[in-house]
Amino acid sequence: MKKLHAPASNLCIPYTMKTNTKNSEKLRTTWSVLKSLAFLFLLIPVIYVFCSLRFVDLFCFCTKQDFTTHHRSDIILSPPGLPRTDQGHDPHEPPEIKTNLSHVVFGIGASAKLWDHRKNYIKIWWRPNETRGFVWLDKHVKTEADEKKLLPPLKISNDTSKFTYKNLEGHGSAIRISRIVSETLRLGLEDVRWFVMGDDDTVFVPDNLVRVLKKYDHNHYYYIGSTSESHLQNIQFSYNMAYGGGGFAISYGLAKALEKMQDRCIQRYPGLYGSDDRIQACMAELGVPLTKEQGFHQFDVYGNIFGLLAAHPIAPLVSLHHLDVIEPIFPHMDRSRALQRLTLPMKLDSAGLMQQSICYDKTRRWTVSVSWGYAIQIFRGILTARELEIPARTFYNWYPKADYKGFAFNTRPLGKSPCQYPFVYYISKAATTTASCDDDAQNNQTIFSVYSLDKSPHPHCNWKMEDPSRIDKVEVYKKPNPYIWEKSPRRNCCRILPTQDNGTMVIDVGECSEDEIIEFR
């Protein structure tokens, strides 16, 4: 038996099929086709009227709400077949004004006890009159008037003694700190798109934070950050959690949803350790996953993070943390001064900070790895890009008993033989210059940076090849490229330039041309 036209049944027209004679079947078929058609013609205006009413209704609701709350507009659905009106705000279009630093409000979790020491980390990155936000403390602290200008305004968190905290290893302040997002939202500041949480020992690169956040629509629900370097930490807490010290961002839309339920949510998890796992528990209840961005760094490691910074992922550097735990990022100086040293390249080309490029000195058979604004390594022999993009183990696991298998990413030994240990050059100078002479007299800006050899002793090597220790400085030319992260991520290229001075290496760093690849030939 043949099935007759399907649309009829879709429209729920009662249809009885008789099969006695061919003729009567034909007649009946024609009759029901006519009937269906007539019904259809009647139905279309009904659908139209219904839909347009619904549409108008929703649309009006929307325009009323849109400018204040920004997210109910999600429910406008143009009925099929009806053209979208231009008046409706399309929630999938990115907001017209691009997100900038003024849209971000920081919430820094701090304690009065450590304030005198930790405030120095905040001064490194805080930009008075540009960055917005507060330091949230448990008690009042004394600050000198001239110091006040360099720091965010201080606030005392609300009392949390009515909440239960039952974790034996942690500290009750976790509840206070996890409520900072809600407390900041309740302040009702204007023109806020993102709430960014950090610790008092977190150093942010604010421009890179904005580069990351501007990719997302703040009206929607976003929870952005990164996990720990330690696999065991991620097992103990969660791979779904943004670690608080690395900092994380909560979109305005999500903060509003969180604020409504956070206090109830917190009561359900008295046994959790910190503030960040409490936030994650509420995210799980809201059904919002972690959007992982690789530039947030919790740094759950000990020792020297050189290996991590020299092979940074191809993503903007957003934050550094655990600065009291790790060794100073530049040798022979204290932690604060070492971080201070990073601020100049950060100012000149934040987008390029710590970005790795790899090239070869053909005549001497050396491999060069640049971590722009930080350090350069020269290796004897040829190392491939796939080896060098993996961080060298200059640091230890957070759990003393865990070895290299305890990291949540690949690592490699510093060198396969003592001859392969790198010669390291740390940044010592950086300045903006006009383009070098071969640049068609264009007055384009170029950053000139100088890196000086770290003279720590090297193990003996019996390879009969030229020794990079004769090079005592490396000069790097690079054009700043603030828009590089608006393209698909790609490693920069470096090129070794000829020079007369045999104590210097000169390198150009910039976007790779189309066919430029990292190969030794």
Ligand X SMILES: *[C@@H]1O[C@H](CO)[C@@H](O)[C@H](O)[C@H]1NC(C)=O
CB-based contact 249:196 (threshold 8 Å): yes
Helix (H, G, I), strand (E, B) or coil at 231: helix
Beta carbon nearer to ligand X, 157 or 304: 157
CB-based contact 359:495 (threshold 8 Å): yes
> Can you tell me the distance from the alpha carbon of 289 to that of 189, in angstroms, rounded to the nearest whole number?
26
Residue from 211, 213, 233 nearest 223 by CA: 213
Beta carbon nearer to ligand X, 159 or 169: 159
In the complex, minimum distance from the CB of residue 230 to ligand X, in angstroms, rounded to a whole number? 34
Beta carbon nearer to ligand X, 57 or 191: 191
SS (H, E, C) 233-296: HHHHCCCCCCCHHHCEEEEHHHHHHHHHHHHHHHHCCCCCCCHHHHHHHHHHHHCCCEEECCCC
Using CB under 6 A, pick the residue from 19, 20, 87, 442 that binds ligand X. Answer: 442
Beta carbon nearer to ligand X, 108 or 301: 108
Cα torsion 198, 204, 208, 210 to 10°: value is: 40
Using CB under 6 A, pick the residue from 78, 236, 433, 444 that binds ligand X. Answer: 444
> Can you tell me the distance from the alpha carbon of 489 to that of 508, in angstroms, rounded to the nearest whole number?
19
In the complex, minimum distance from the CB of residue 162 to ligand X, in angstroms, rounded to a whole number? 11
Residue from 464, 381, 460, 455 nearest 423 by CA: 455
Q: Which stretch binds ligand X (CB under 6 A): 63-71, 95-103, 107-115, 421-429?
A: 95-103
Using CB under 6 A, pick the residue from 324, 434, 503, 520 that binds ligand X. Answer: 503
Residue 311 DSSP code: T
> Can you tell me the distance from the alpha carbon of 30 to that of 72, in angstroms, rounded to the nearest whole number?
48
Beta carbon nearer to ligand X, 68 or 502: 502
Beta carbon nearer to ligand X, 16 or 502: 502
128 binds ligand X (CB under 6 A): yes
161 binds ligand X (CB under 6 A): no
94 binds ligand X (CB under 6 A): no
147 binds ligand X (CB under 6 A): no
363 binds ligand X (CB under 6 A): no
Strands 395-397 and 423-434: unpaired
102 binds ligand X (CB under 6 A): yes
Helix (H, G, I), strand (E, B) or coil at 369: strand
Beta carbon nearer to ligand X, 440 or 514: 440
Look at phi and psi of residue 512 and say left if phi exceeds 0, alpha if psi is from -120 to 50, else beta.
beta
Beta carbon nearer to ligand X, 88 or 480: 480
Strands 301-303 and 319-320: unpaired
Using CB under 6 A, pick the residue from 23, 161, 462, 502 that binds ligand X. Answer: 502
In the complex, minimum distance from the CB of residue 439 to ligand X, in angstroms, rounded to a whole number? 6
Using CB under 6 A, pick the residue from 191, 334, 516, 519 that binds ligand X. Answer: 191
Nearest 5°: phi and psi at 467? -100, 120
> How many secondary structure helices (H) and strands (E) does the chain include?
13, 19
Q: Which stretch binds ligand X (CB under 6 A): 109-117, 156-164, 291-299, 454-462?
A: 156-164
Beta carbon nearer to ligand X, 180 or 309: 180
158 binds ligand X (CB under 6 A): yes
Total residues interacting with ligand X, rule: CB under 6 A: 19
* Residue ranges in contact with ligand X by CB under 6 A: 97, 100, 102, 128-129, 149, 155-156, 158-159, 183, 191, 439-440, 442-444, 502-503
